[in-house]
Amino acid sequence: MPEFFQNNEQVSDGANLLISMLVRYPEIGTINFNPETNSLKFTFMISGIPTAGDFESVKQLIINSIATYHLLQGITDSKIDVELSKYEQVAMLTIMRDVHTMSQGEIGLTVKLLRERFADRLTADQNDSILEEDLLLQEEVIEDLLESMRKQYNERHNLIGIREDGRVFVFNK
């Protein structure tokens, strides 16, 4: 599994996880890791403001799809919350999930649902230089890091991962 380094120090599994998710899924605007609740918060940017009915429909689609995915995977006791906030003509769709029941497949499913639902309104970085093999490698890395965090994660840092101008940054909050 690739490891990222900064100033000759190994970066934590949590930081690597956020980096890998942002690299693999350019639709994710930001990811926050909260160690107190051991949860991740994904924020997606949508141009234009969906109607209340449209948002409720998307919210139920995401919740029901994840619940069905978990049922098929034999996962119980998952925590999910979906919220919408607005700023001028941009909507921010936020999905909060617990790390213990999350999987890479679920993240892929969620992103695919949002791509289909919002098509060209979903903001995404364009990175044509990433090859299909690199995307598959990132998916494996994400699943391995999620598994690592489920088993033994003890870092106590709030982390935030953001993308800016085609680059990915992770900071301690």
| pLDDT 10s digits, 25-84 | 999 999 999 888 889 999 999 999 988 999 999 999 999 999 999 999 998 888 999 999
Pairing of strands 5-6, 167-172: unpaired
Whether the CB-CB separation of 153 and 7 falls below 8 Å is answered with no
Query: Could you say which DSSP state residue 122 is in?
Result: B
In this predicted model, what pLDDT tens digit does every residue of 104-158 receive, in sequence order?
999 999 999 999 999 889 998 876 666 667 778 888 899 998 888 877 656 667 8
In the block, tokens 């003509």 appear at 89
Max Cα–Cα distance, the chain, nearest Å: 50
Rounded Cα distance between 60 and 159, Å, is 28
Tell me the whole-structure pTM to 2 decimals: 0.85
In the chain, where the domains are located: 5-166
Chain centroid, CA 158 distance in Å = 15
- Looking at this protein, which amino acid is placed at residue 48? G
Structure tokens at 74: 């034999």
